[in-house]
């Protein structure tokens, strides 16, 4: 797809981006189990959390280090995406394995980023609930540490040992709310991607400010259901009504 085939979006910050939008990123994350009843209260009408056990669903935290946004439409930025793997109401039950493989998508519940243009990009084009925060991402030799802070107070710290990666293409989608409507964005990842189930190689600590007040630290005790890592090109399509 050429630049001429993309729909231009002028942002309130003065930046212009074309959609579908291609990005280059390093992604690290993990999926943890959380009580289904609590997760149901966090998703909007029209969606339901994916059930991974009889009483548990999943909560995904992704640390994203963006290296390039479109044709250098804006400066690179860091992002943390907190998502709830979810399906549309009335759809068939998703098997556990399929639910885990699709855990990089779902309803985007919170999404701190490091710049105002990044916030405008997410909110104005797709309805991603972006807020501005300080996000430090340290890619060590084997593990990635991500810290989110607000006014100097730590909100979230995540350490993930990166799993082995292989060349792979992965398609997925996210759900957001745009202009009061539930919408879906199809996504595609191409690059080196790794996933590792059921391990102790991921830890999360949460503070008491912002979104952290609504995600109890005990949700992140024990083994992660899945560890994730990717060095990839990442495409986000235009939003479509659900």
Sign of the CA dihedral with 21 first, then 138, 108, and 130 last: negative
Q: Tell me the residue range of the domain where 172 lies.
A: 18-241
- CB neighbour list of residue 124: distance below 8 Å, 6 or more residues apart: 9, 11, 12
Residue 96 has pLDDT above 90, yes or no: no
- In this predicted model, which residue has the larger pLDDT, 7 or 101? 7
| Structural domain contains residue 8 | no
Report how far residue 229's alpha carbon sits from residue 53's, in angstroms, rounded to the nearest whole number: 24
Instruction: Name the average pLDDT for the chain.
Output: 91
| Structural domain contains residue 9 | no
| Structural domain contains residue 159 | yes
Query: What burial class does residue 52 get, using C-beta atoms within 10 Å of its C-beta: 0-12 exposed, 13-18 middle, 19+ buried?
Result: buried
Report how far residue 133's alpha carbon sits from residue 115's, in angstroms, rounded to the nearest whole number: 8
Residue 185 has pLDDT above 50, yes or no: yes
Residue 103 has pLDDT above 60, yes or no: no
Q: Are residues 56 and 96 in contact, defined by beta-carbon separation less than 8 angstroms?
A: no
Task: Label the pairing between strands 153-161 and 143-150.
Answer: antiparallel
| Structural domain contains residue 45 | yes
Tell me what pLDDT residue 2 has. Answer: 52
| Structural domain contains residue 82 | yes
**Shortest CA distance to 214 belongs to which of 23, 21, 49, 59?**
59
Report how far residue 140's alpha carbon sits from residue 63's, in angstroms, rounded to the nearest whole number: 14
Tens of pLDDT, residue by residue over 73-89, are 999 999 999 999 999 88
Tell me what pLDDT residue 160 has. Answer: 97
Total structural domains within the chain: 1
- In this predicted model, which residue has the larger pLDDT, 53 or 22? 22
**Shortest CA distance to 35 belongs to which of 23, 52, 16?**
52
Report how far residue 29's alpha carbon sits from residue 124's, in angstroms, rounded to the nearest whole number: 25
- In this predicted model, which residue has the larger pLDDT, 100 or 189? 189
Query: How would residue 92 be classed by pLDDT, with cut points 50, 70 and 90?
Result: low
CATH of the domain at 39: 2.40.400.10
Q: What is the pTM of this model?
A: 0.93
The arithmetic mean of pLDDT across residues 170-197, rounded, is: 95
| Structural domain contains residue 4 | no
Query: How would residue 190 be classed by pLDDT, with cut points 50, 70 and 90?
Result: very high
User: What tokens does 224 get?
Assistant: 């992660």
The arithmetic mean of pLDDT across residues 192-200, rounded, is: 93
| Structural domain contains residue 12 | no
Lookup result for tokens 């109890």: 216
């Amino acid at each position: 797809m050429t630049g001429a085939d993309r729909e231009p979006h002028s942002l309130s910050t003065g930046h212009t981006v074309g959609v579908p939008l291609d990005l280059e990123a390093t992604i690290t994350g993990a999926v943890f189990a959380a009580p289904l009843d609590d997760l149901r209260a966090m998703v909007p009408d029209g969606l339901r959390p994916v059930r991974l056990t009889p009483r548990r669903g999943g909560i995904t935290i992704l640390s994203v280090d963006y290296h390039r946004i479109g044709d250098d439409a804006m400066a690179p930025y860091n992002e943390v995406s907190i998502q709830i793997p979810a399906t549309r109401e009335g759809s068939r039950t998703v098997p556990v394995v399929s639910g885990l493989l699709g855990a990089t998508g779902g309803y985007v519940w919170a999404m701190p980023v490091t710049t105002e243009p990044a916030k405008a990009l997410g909110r104005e084009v797709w309805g991603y609930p972006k807020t501005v925060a300080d996000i430090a991402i340290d890619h060590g030799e084997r593990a990635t540490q991500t810290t989110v802070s607000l006014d100097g107070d730590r909100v979230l710290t995540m350490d993930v040992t990166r799993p082995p990666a292989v060349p792979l293409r992965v398609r997925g989608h996210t759900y957001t709310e745009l202009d009061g409507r539930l919408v879906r964005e199809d996504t595609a990842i191409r690059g080196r991607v790794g996933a590792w189930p059921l391990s102790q190689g991921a830890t999360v600590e949460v503070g008491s400010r912002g979104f952290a007040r609504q995600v109890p630290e005990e949700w992140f005790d024990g083994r992660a259901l899945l560890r994730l890592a990717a060095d990839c090109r990442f495409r986000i399509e235009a939003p479509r009504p659900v």
